[in-house]
Amino acid sequence: MISGESAGGLATFHWTNYLQTKVSRTTKFWSIPDSGVFVDASNILTKVNSYRVWFQNLLKYSNEEIGTPNAQCNQAYKNELWKCMFAQYLVDYISAPIFAPQSLYDSWSLYNIVGIRCVDGSSLAACSKVDRDIIEDYHRQTVEVMFKIASSNTNGAWAPVCINHCYLTTSYYSSPNYRIPSNSEFSLIKAVGDWISGVESTSRHIDFGDWPLNKPCSGVASKSEL
């Protein structure tokens, strides 16, 4: 198994194919990239796709002539190699089974990629309509990536409409407040366990709707209903 969180989650996407080739064909191999989906989106402060620019600059100083660890993606995007730094493009060239936990309102991404400054902890209550429209556009793009990941019969996903970043090493991993759909049995620990065990029809757990639909993990229920 290969896994990691945040930048480590993105690295998990990058290295999955390579590491799969290092195990025998009879060995089961799983990849669990946690919160490694960083969408190629415009930043409202810089007016450009700042995260893309960071990756383009990184590639200039990190073996650009060799490319990223995923050879298939490098070949597909040989004139736009920066795309292979994003999970949304890279996932099409990953052959090993993947299970991706990911917030549909990733707090790190909203602040650093999109440039949103109105998020208060787990709440969007302080955000203006203009901010909310921008946030929902990023939410929509994240949902599209998560469904792309989960479209493979061997893959899985667990993605709540709550504002977080990273799950596997936090209390959210087994918390009764973090389930999809809310108040169901599908905590992340159960969803991952079922996926590894090969339980059918339980690999795709992606919340529908907008914040704060999943009230227990959005913080709304803990403040006003519990």
First to last CA, the chain: 38
Distances (CA, A) of 22 to 1, 28, 169, 220: 12, 12, 26, 46
Question: Burial code of 90-129, b = ≥16 C-beta within 10 A, e = fewer?
Answer: bbebbebbbbbbbbbbbbebbeebbbbebbeebbbeebee
pLDDT at 41: 98
> Residue range 112-141: average pLDDT?
96
Domain total for the chain?
A: 1
What's the mean per-residue pLDDT of the chain?
93
Residue 97 and residue 100: Cα distance in Å, rounded? Answer: 10
Calculate the dihedral angle through the C-alpha atoms of 24, 27, 31, 32, rounding to the nearest 10 degrees: -150
pLDDT at 225 over 50: no
User: For residues 29 and 1, is the Cβ–Cβ distance under 8 A?
Assistant: yes
Is the pLDDT at 175 greater than 50? The verdict is yes
Q: Determine the Cα angle at 191 with ends 181 and 159, to 5°.
A: 50
Contact 159, 180 (CB under 8 A): yes
Residues in CB range of 13: below 8 A, 6 or more apart: 31, 33, 36, 87, 90, 91, 94, 98
Average pLDDT rounded to a whole number, residues 42-59 = 96
Q: What is the pLDDT of residue 222?
A: 55
pLDDT value, residue 140: 98
166 has pLDDT over 50: yes
pLDDT over 60 at 125, yes or no = yes
Q: Is the pLDDT of residue 26 over 90?
A: no
User: Cβ contacts of residue 1 below 8 Å, gap of 6+?
Assistant: 29, 30, 31, 32
| Inter-residue contact 186 to 138 (CB < 8 Å) | no
Mean pLDDT of 118-135: 96
Q: Which domain holds residue 159?
A: 2-224
- Residue pair 131/139 in contact by the 8 Å Cβ criterion: no
Query: What's the whole-number mean pLDDT along residues 191-208?
Result: 88
CA 72/CA 183 separation, integer angstroms: 41
- 51-92 residue pLDDT tens: 999 999 999 888 777 889 999 999 999 999 999 999 999 999
